[in-house]
Amino acid sequence: MTEEEVKALEEALEEARGQAERYRETAGEQGERIAELEGRLTGLEATAQEREQAQAAREEEFHRREEEAAGLREQLVAGVARYRCLLLAAVPEVPEELVKGETMEEVDASLAAAREMVEGIKRRLEAKLATERIPVGAPVRAAPDVSALSPREKIALALTRQ
């Protein structure tokens, strides 16, 4: 081998060593980057797990409150029904079919409309009665008309009255 060939080989060897060193540096940097990313990933996984737990807790709270709201709705319906019954008992002249509603405000409004309707009917009936005069007391009693009866029938009628 000639000196030039040896020199070329040494240069190639030196270049390969430099390239190997750069690869080691790059590998070291990439290893550090990988370690950094793994640490970051671990932190993100922990954050994700915390958020999942928080979400599960919120969902549980939501379902609990949803059940509580359903119970309160049932109590409201029962309370409004009792309120309606009490109002109808206090105002017997209003037909119960006219009083409806799912809330106390609706029942109150319905009762007010029903009262107006009943009052309007009362006023119309009173006005009609005022125009029609009906005599007070029993009608005058008159003796039965016996003019069309035969003498025998008149005698029989008189004997039955005694």
pLDDT tens by residue, 44-78: 999 999 999 999 999 999 999 999 999 999 999 99
Give the pLDDT of residue 79. 95
Of 63, 14, 138, the closest CA to residue 55 belongs to: 63
Which pLDDT belongs to residue 138? Answer: 66
Computed over every residue of the chain, the mean pLDDT equals: 88
95 lies in the same domain as 71: no
Same domain, 73 and 28: yes
Distances (CA, A) of 100 to 9, 75, 77, 117, 152: 105, 17, 12, 14, 70
The band of 140, judged by pLDDT with boundaries at 50, 70 and 90, is low
Q: How far apart are CA 146 and CA 152, in angstroms?
A: 11
Residues 62 and 95 in one domain: no
Same domain for 4 and 31, yes or no, is yes
Same domain, 55 and 1: yes
pTM: 0.51
What is residue 150's three-state secondary structure? coil
Determine the pLDDT at residue 31: 83
Instruction: Report pLDDT digits (tens) over 15-54.
Output: 888 888 888 888 888 888 888 999 999 999 999 999 999 9
Domain residues for 108?
91-129
The answer as to whether 83 is a domain residue is no
**Predicted confidence (pLDDT) per residue in 98-130, tens digit:** 999 999 999 999 999 999 999 999 999 888 877
For residue 145, pLDDT beyond 90: no
Does one domain contain both 65 and 97?
Answer: no
